[in-house]
Structure 1
Amino acid sequence: MARLVFYHHPQADQFSLTYSSASMAEIRSQRAQSDESTKCIGYPFETPVYVLYEGDGEIESAQDIDFDQEWLSDRMGGLSRAGEVVTFRLVELLEAAVDVREEEAVRLYKEFEPQKIQQALDHVSWGAPLPTVAGEVMSNLILRHSLPNANHRTGIAMLQFCIESVDPEFQMPRTHVDDDTWREWVDSYIVDSKRLITVRRNNLRFKQLEELDVDLVERKDGIQIRLAEFELDMHWREALSEYAGQHESHCRDFAQAVLERAERDDLLDRQGPTKQEFVTFLENGLVERDFRELF
């Protein structure tokens, strides 16, 4: 039977795996040194494994935040005009996703970090073929994880806007069955995306688990990561670069699948937007758009 541990604590999913050991004394030592809230699980394998989880004991509900202009302005200082426009639209998308699911049902797992949106824009191959640009916009926004929730849903919406900036008549195929469930053709892309970004941030932690003969790590939503399928033995900086590249390639493939499913093969070889063209579309081409229709 496969030896499986949870990446998120099963009773408190704001706590994530930080350290593992065959020694409970070592876990206690790590716990004593931590400045974060912690929880611990002992996995009763034939050779036991102990896992330390760290996280924020307080998780906000979306209803606790007023997404008003003052709240947003306080967080956008120092952004370029492009960064401001993309940030503003992302917050509108987050509000729409929250509205569709009802505020009390949406939890905010981290701080809003708009500076990371600026970083995401700087890593896109603007003006390359459209599937490349759209896929990289989606990938880099997801990789930077700037929003407190809904990064995949808003990333796909931004991919759609990128395509629409080249052809405003583009009809995006539906990506959701309902507000909680991805359509079957999208789901595999989302699951693999979440696997890649989890391994990217945790290669050394997962290497530690692998050395303890753990086979599987399971994150939220039942997504399992089979450790033997990933290269873990590298410096964490190398892992950040390696898995970012794999994630970008994965999202470029998704952008191509979107165009093919929409029967728009004519756009596969079209030049994607420049950064300015994309920002201009976000600023002027989405006026009065009801973003709830995207979710």
Structure 2
Amino acid sequence: MARLVYYHHPQAENFSLKYSSASQSEILSRRKDSDGATKLIGYPFDTPVYALYESDTEIKDANEIDFDQKWLSDRLAELPREGQVVAFRLVELLEAAVDVREEEEFRLYKEFEPQKIRQALNHVSWGAPLPQVAGEVMSNLILRHSLPNANHRTGIAMLQFCIESVEPDFEMPRTHLDDETWQEWVDPYIVDSKRLITIRRNNIRFKQLQELGVDLVERKDGIQIQLDEFELDMHWRDALSTYATRHEDHCTEFARAVLERAERDDLFEKAGPTKQEFIDYLESGLVERDFRELF
């Protein structure tokens, strides 16, 4: 039987794995030295494993979202124009996602971090072939994780807008949660994306688990990570770059799948937008768009 350890605490999703050991006394010592809230789990394997979970944030309900214009404007004042435009659209998308789903089922896991949007835009190969640009826009917004939730869903929407910015007549295949095609092809891409970004930030912790004989790590939403399928033995900085590249490739593959399902293979080699073309479309091409239709 596989030896499984949880990445997110099963009774408190805002607590994530920080350290593991075969020594209970070591875990208790680390807990004592921790500055934040902690939880412990002892896994009763033949050789027990003890895991320390920590949290820096509190989970909030979606009805606590209050991104009014003044608050948002103040937060974005130091961003360049392109960052402000993308941030406003991301917030609108988040609010639309909450509006479509039941508020009590929608949780906020972190604070809004708009400064990370600038980093995301700076890592896109603007003007490269369209699938690459669209995939990198999606990937880098997900990797920077600027929103409190729905970073994957809003990332897919931004991929769509990127394609539309150079092909206004493009019709996006359905990627809605309530559509049966979601389980068929969209969800697997998102699940693999979440595996990659979890490995990217935790290769050292997961290598430690592997050395303790753990086979599987399960994160929230029941997503399992088979540790021997990933290279873990590298410096954490190398993991950040290595798995960022893999994530960009993964999202570029998703962009190509989107174009194939839309029967727009003719767009595979079409040049993607420049940064300014993308920003112009977000600012002026979506003025009357009801973003709820995307969810």
- Scaled to the shorter chain, the TM-score interval is over 0.9
So what's the TM-score if we normalise by structure 2? 0.98
Tell whether 2:199 aligns with 1:199: yes
> Which residue does 1:172 correspond to in 2?
172
Shift in alpha-carbon separation, 1:182–1:55, aligned structure 2, 3 A = farther
Q: Note if contact 2:4-2:217 (Cα within 8 Å) is conserved in structure 1.
A: yes
* Structure 1 residue ranges without an equivalent (≥5): none
Aligned length: 295
Q: Is the 8 A contact 1:97 1:150 kept in 2?
A: yes
Which segment drifts farther, 95-104 or 36-45? 95-104
Distance in 2 between the 1:2 and 1:74 partners? Answer: 50
Task: Give yes or no for contact 1:38–1:54 (8 Å, CA) kept in 2.
Answer: yes
Q: Any idea what the Cα deviations from partners look like across 1:85-115, whole Å, max 9, x if unmatched?
A: 0000000000000111132321110111001
> Residue 249 of structure 1 corresponds to which residue in structure 2?
249
User: Does 2:288 correspond to 1:288?
Assistant: yes
Match of 1:147 in 2: 147
Pairing 1:78-89 to 2, within 5 Å after superposition? 78-89=78-89
Q: Please name the residue that 1:5 is paired with.
A: 5
Contact map agreement 2:215 2:228 (CA 8 A) in 1: yes
CA distance in 1, matches of 2:115, 2:183: 32
Match of residue 30 from structure 1: 30
RMSD after superposition: 1.3
Aligned AA (2:238): E
Corresponding residue for residue 267 of structure 1: 267
Name 2:73's counterpart in structure 1.
Answer: 73
- Stretch moving more, 225-234 or 73-82: 73-82
Cα displacement (A) at 1:43: 0.2
**Cα offset, 1:191, TM superposition:** 0.8
The percent of aligned pairs where both chains have the same amino acid is 79
Aligned equivalent of 1:109:
109
**Residues 1:179 and 1:26: Cα distance change in structure 2 (over 3 Å):** farther
What's 2:162 paired with?
162
Matched residue, 1:98: 98
Distance in 2, Cα, partners of 1:259 & 1:57: 38
CA offset at residue 22 of structure 1? 0.4
- Shift of the 57–278 alpha-carbon distance from structure 1 to 2, 3 Å rule, reads closer
Partner of 2:47: helix, strand, or coil? coil
Q: Residues of 1 paired with 2:168 and 2:116: CA distance?
A: 27
Secondary structure at the aligned position of 2:26 is classed as helix
Distance in 1 (alpha carbons) for counterparts of 2:179 and 2:55? 27
- 1:113 is paired with a residue whose SS is coil
Cα deviation for residue 181 of structure 1 reads: 9.2
User: How big is the shift at 1:74?
Assistant: 2.4
Contact residue 176 and residue 183 of structure 1 kept, 8 A:
no
2:8 touches 2:15 (CA, 8 Å); kept in 1?
A: yes
Contact 2:58 2:110 in 1 (8 A): no
Alpha-carbon distance in structure 2 between the residues aligned to 1:254 and 1:183:
14
Shift of 1:67: 1.7
Letter in 1 for 2:239: A
Closer/same/farther in 2, CA of residues 102 and 293 from structure 1, 3 Å limit: same
Counterpart of 1:129? 129
Unaligned runs of 5+ in 2: none
How far did 1:182 drift?
3.2
Whole-angstrom CA distance in 2 between matches of 1:104 and 1:128: 41
1:75 match: secondary structure: helix
TM-score normalised over the length of structure 1: 0.98
Distance in 1 (alpha carbons) for counterparts of 2:107 and 2:180: 14
Q: Give the letter for the 2:252 counterpart.
A: R
Q: In 1, Cα distance between the equivalents of 2:125 and 2:91?
A: 24
Question: Equivalents in 2 of 1:180, 1:140: separation in Å?
Answer: 27
| In 2: Cα distance, 1:181 partner to 1:228 partner | 30
Which moved further from structure 2: 172-181 or 90-99?
A: 172-181
Is contact 1:42-1:51 (8 Å) kept? yes
Specify the alignment match of 1:62 in structure 2.
62
Q: CA deviation at 1:209?
A: 0.1
- DSSP 3-state at the match of 2:165: helix
53-62 or 224-233, which deviates more:
53-62
Contact 1:37–1:57, Cα closer than 8 Å, also in 2: no
Aligned-pair CA distance for 1:35: 1.4
| Paired residues of 2:6 and 2:217 also in contact (CA < 8 A) | yes
CA distance in 1 between counterparts of 2:283 and 2:183 reads: 29
